[in-house]
Amino acid sequence: MRFIPIFLFAFLLFSCRKGEFTTRPQLRYRSVNSRTISGPQELRIKFDLTDKEGDYTTFLGVKKVVPGCPNSGFIDSTFFSIPQDFLDSKQKDGELVIILNENNRKDNQCSIPGTNPPVAKPDTATFSFWTRDKAGNVSDTARTETIIILN
């Protein structure tokens, strides 16, 4: 199926902490299912998302950074989005689970420059995410810990 869900979403109700919410959305990294993944294994990244007004948009930017391998990183703000279910709920806080599969996390290998033939090394990457609300307020950038992607 072409439109396989990229994001799984589960609502997580917290105790009432309205004083901690801000007008600017807050995207906080919580955890990742594994710090080393390979082949078809999915990378599941969990975040807490809050906004005082709950005026979220579907916008979710992602950036992959691979130290020492400029061709393996990417920035994408069109492929990923906050699920409509989250928007429809009008919740001011919740848990967001982002799933990166082998296709949408992009290249798994990085060629080492200056070797002939090029030698591949594992793709050690960090992923950064950010969002914005209807008022145009942009969240801080939430970064994962280092992830090793093997073939």
DSSP secondary structure letter of residue 20: G
Per-residue pLDDT band for 3 (boundaries 50, 70, 90) equals very low
Domain edges within the chain: 7-13+21-150
Per-residue pLDDT at 117 exceeds 90: no
Contacts 24+ apart (CB under 8 A), 132-136: 132/25, 132/57, 132/59, 133/24, 133/25, 133/51, 133/53, 133/55, 133/56, 133/57, 134/55, 134/56, 134/57, 135/23, 135/53, 135/55
Instruction: Give residue 17's pLDDT.
Output: 46
Mean local confidence (pLDDT), 55-75? 82
Class of domain 7-13+21-150: mainly beta
Are 82 and 60 in contact by the 8 Å Cβ rule? The answer is: yes
5-39 pLDDT tens trace: 333 233 323 334 445 788 899 999 999 999 998 88
